[in-house]
Amino acid sequence: MHTAQLAQPDNPPLSVFISGSISIRQPLSTLVMDRLAGIVERSMPILIGDAPGVDAAVQSYLARQRYNHVTIFCGGGLPRHNIGGWPVRTVRADAPARTRAWHMAKDREMARLADTGFVIWDGSSRGSFANIERLCRRGCYVLIYLDREQRFVSLECDAVREVFLASHRPG
C-alpha cells in the first residue's frame, strides 16, 4: 500500500475495502498476493463481500494465511462465501433479493466504512467501477489492480482520481 496508509504506532491500522470483478477467479496473481501479504503484515482490518470471483479468491488467500481481521458483508441470511468463518455483517436493502441493487447495498456500506480501498478489476465490471467511484468521492486512497494489464494504479489525490474515473468508465 501507499506509505500514507501505514498505521502510526499510536493509531489503529486503517481498514481496507477489498473488492473486485466476479470474472476474476483463482488463482490470484502473484502481484495481488504480494499486496495482500502487506495488508496482512500491517494487521489492517479487511471489509469484503461474499461474491464469487475476487471476493472468494481473496477470502481463500486470507484463510490460508489464518488471517482473523476480516468482516464479511452480505445482503441477507447466510453469505454465499465465508471461507474463513469470519464475522458476518448483514446489510439490508430496499430491493428485490439477489438483484444488482440488492448487492449494491453491501458495497455502499463497505465503501462508507472503509478508510482505503483495494480493487482488483477486469476493466469492464460496472460494480467494481462503482466501488472505485464511491471510495474516490470520499477522498479515500484507492489501489487498483488492472487484471488485464497486470499493473497497479494508485489513486491518491483528487486530480488523479478525476482523470482515472473519466478515462476508465465502463461503456
How far apart CA 27 and CA 115 sit, in angstroms, is 27
pLDDT at residue 164 in the model: 95
Instruction: Calculate the alpha carbon distances from 10 to 25, 90, 134 in Å.
Output: 37, 31, 28
Task: Per-residue pLDDT tens, the chain, 171 aa: give them.
Answer: 444 454 455 678 899 999 999 999 878 999 999 999 999 999 999 999 999 999 999 999 999 999 999 999 998 789 999 999 999 999 988 877 777 777 889 999 999 999 999 999 999 999 999 999 999 999 999 999 999 999 999 999 999 999 999 999 997
Stated pTM of the model: 0.91
| 100-113 vs 126-137: helix crossing angle, rounded to 10 | 30
Identify whether the C-beta of residue 80 lies closer than 8 Å to the C-beta of residue 95.
Answer: no
Q: C-alpha cell of 36?
A: 495482500
Mention every residue, 6+ apart, whose C-beta is less than 8 A from residue 3: none
pLDDT at residue 23 in the model: 94
Q: C-alpha cell of 69?
A: 481481521
Q: Name residue 40's amino acid.
A: V
